[in-house]
Structure formats: C-alpha cells, structure tokens
Amino acid sequence: MVFSLINYGLTFRSHRYTIDERTSLNREANLKSSFKTKRVKVLRFRKFFAGFCEKVIIFVAKIQVIVNMINYHIDEIDQKILSFLIKNARTPFLEIARECGVSGAAIHQRVKRLENSGIITGSRVLVKPQAIGLNICAFVSISISEGNKYPEVVEALENIQEVVECHFVTGRYALLVKLYCFDHDHLMQVLVNTIQKLPYVQSTDTMISLDQPIERQVWVNEYKNTIFTSRKK
C-alpha cells in the first residue's frame, strides 16, 4: 500500500513536473512570438514614419517653391542673365558677371533664385533631328469626342516617343501635336496605328513641315521691372 502510494506520489510529481515544463516552454514560445510581433510592428512603424517624413519634406519643399514663384520681381540684371543663358546655357557665370558688373557669386545666387521661382525651368542639349535620321517633322491637329477627356488623351500622347510637343488650342481642333518621324511610312504608322487609335480621338489633320527658317527662344531685353506671377501646371 505504501509502495503504491509512493509510486502514485512519484507519478504525480513526475506528471506535475512535465506540466510545468510544458508551461515554461509555452511561455517561452509566447514570449518569442510576442517579441517577433512587436519587432515587426516597430519595423512597420519606422518604415511608415520614414515615408511620412519624406512626404512632409517634399510637400514643404513644393510649398516653398510655390511661395518663391509668386510675384517674383525681375530686374535688369536678371534680364541680362536670362539673355546670356538663352543664347548659350553654358556661358560661364564669371563672363556674365563681368557684363553685368557684379560678382560671380551674385550671378550664381540670382540664377538659383530664378530656378527656384520657376522662371528657369532647366537646361538641355538641342539635337538636330535630321542628323539622327528624323527627316519628317509634322504637326497633327487632333479633335476629341469628349472635351473633359482631354487630360487622358494628353497622358496617352506622352507615351508616344515621336511626339515632342503638345498644345491645347482654340478652334476646330482641341490639340496640336508636333512629332518627328524617319520617313513618310513611319509617319503613317504613327498616325494610323497609334494616334488615331487612342481613346476619345475623333479625327486628325496632318501638316508636314518642309522647312523651319526660324527657331529661337523668347526675348527678354525689352522687359523692364517685370513681375513674374507663377501659374501652377
């Protein structure tokens, strides 16, 4: 009887020890799982917070640019700077400074201010189209079936690499597009297989340019004390 009780006691104690061990293991597993969950949440929050901060910085920068663009006063020195850069965007600032009678640092600051205000939108290299085989320059007038679909048509035209300019115009047609092609067959393919198949494009009218005797930028020499007011696109 005693032996049985002892055996029963040992069995009971052994069984209780096994339960405690399992409980400990479960607690450890729960702690690890909880730690992993918290770590994932922390990483997600860090990622979200970093993205949020980046968006705030971009938003503040855009607001600052818009504020700088409002009612920017263009004086005679700015006009001279623009006239030099329009003729040759690579003109050294020191050369412009000598012509304007100011320091090179002042020219650099003014050019930066003109860029931030949206007056100078950038600089680019002009490539002669005929030199790379683009021998056909054409202007395509486009009428659209629904006037409110104009932004969607413009977005589709942006994906056509032959299109270099797009204007929203008055008159019979809604859009005027300038494009370059290699030859007449290429032009026909772009018109028939691409532009005329765009959604909401109703009809087109094409004019081929035979020559371009005049090509230049805007003039600035005759402007005096101009106030530039920005217009957000």
- pLDDT tens readout for residues 41-85: 778 888 888 888 888 888 877 676 666 555 677 888 998 999 899
List helix spans (H) across 159-226: 184-193
The Cα–Cα gap between 172 and 154 comes to 17
CB 149 within 8 A of CB 117: no
Assigned token pair, 218 = 């805007």
- Cβ of 225: how many Cβ atoms within 10 Å? 9
What residues does each domain of the chain span?
Answer: 1-70, 75-122, 129-209
DSSP 3-state of 8: helix
Q: What residue has token string 């486009």?
A: 142
Q: Has domain 75-122 been given CATH number 1.10.10.10?
A: yes
User: What is the value of pTM for the model shown?
Assistant: 0.61
CB 110 within 8 A of CB 161: no
Fold equal for 75-122 and 129-209: no
- Whether residue 142 has pLDDT greater than 90: yes
Between 14 and 144, the more confident residue is: 144
- Whether residue 227 has pLDDT greater than 70: no
Rounded to the nearest angstrom, the gap between the alpha carbon of residue 85 and the centroid of all alpha carbons in its chain is: 25
Q: How confident is the model at residue 11 (pLDDT cuts 50, 70, 90)?
A: very low
Residues facing residue 27 across a β-bridge: none
Q: What residue has token string 């005693």?
A: 2
How many degrees, rounded to 5, is the angle at CA 214 between CA 177 and CA 127? 65
Q: Give the CATH architecture of domain 129-209.
A: 2-Layer Sandwich (3.30)
Residue-wise pLDDT tens digits, 157-198: 999 999 999 999 999 999 999 999 999 999 999 999 999 999
The rounded percent of the chain whose pLDDT value lies above 70 is 76
The Cα–Cα gap between 136 and 138 comes to 6
- Per 3-state DSSP, what percentage of the chain is helix, strand, and coil (rounded to 5)? 55, 15, 30
